[in-house]
Amino acid sequence: MSAIFVAGAGTDVGKTHVAAALIRRLRADGAPVGALKPLVSGFDPEDWAQSDPGRLLAALGAPLTLQALDALSPWRFRAPLSPEMAAAREGARLDPQALIARCQAEIAAHAGRPLLIEGVGGVMSPIAERATNLDWMAALGLPVLLVGGSYLGAISHTLTALAVIRAAGLSAPVVVISESAAGDAPFDETLTRLEVLSGAPIVGVRRGADDDSWTGRVLGLLGWVVCG
């Protein structure tokens, strides 16, 4: 496996946090990892160091320059809405085929090397008038690393996302659950129930923890060799 798609069971569940941690681990193990988050909404061009693209560039050890930003995230929109709505407010329309072609070019360029492609919003979030993240994922056909939260209701959202991913014929070798800020559901019990109900390996990531040892298990489940 040389490329994966990082998808979310919903919005703001920790996709970028998980992707950045995996990138740092791969780099620490000497892997020439690449990343692509081609589509971003809610982007402030005047202050983007702590944005999702900024955090991914930092994890890659890349400079926070416009050139690096354009390579990582070529389609950026200001409004914190679904990409199709955000683009419309700027008089733009996203061409899904151009998005897919950009990803395919990056996949080809990273043949045999780890590449993480991060989606936007949740699995069924619209990216264009007649396309969702799932359509984008299905066109690429990559294994999916699904990231979910631990808030009340997250079990249903994660299982639903996993079901539609599998129904599209895509594999999901591992599900990562990033602890949500709202502590209204027991984290460990959420992990246990999801593992039983999903039949997939579940890896939990505690909020604010400095321990990134979980990255080794995730990379192993993805089939990427890690050290230590």
Residue whose token pair is 């990273």: 110
Residues 6+ apart with CB under 8 A from 185: 150, 151, 152, 154
State the catalytic residue, choosing from 37, 76, 110, 157: 37
| Type of residue at 92 | A
Is position 15 annotated as part of the catalytic site? no
CA–CA distances in Å: residue 212 to residues 27, 115, 177, 184: 13, 19, 14, 24
Could you tell me which residues come within 8 angstroms of residue 51 by beta carbon, excluding any fewer than 6 positions away? 40, 43, 44
Catalytic annotation, residues: 37
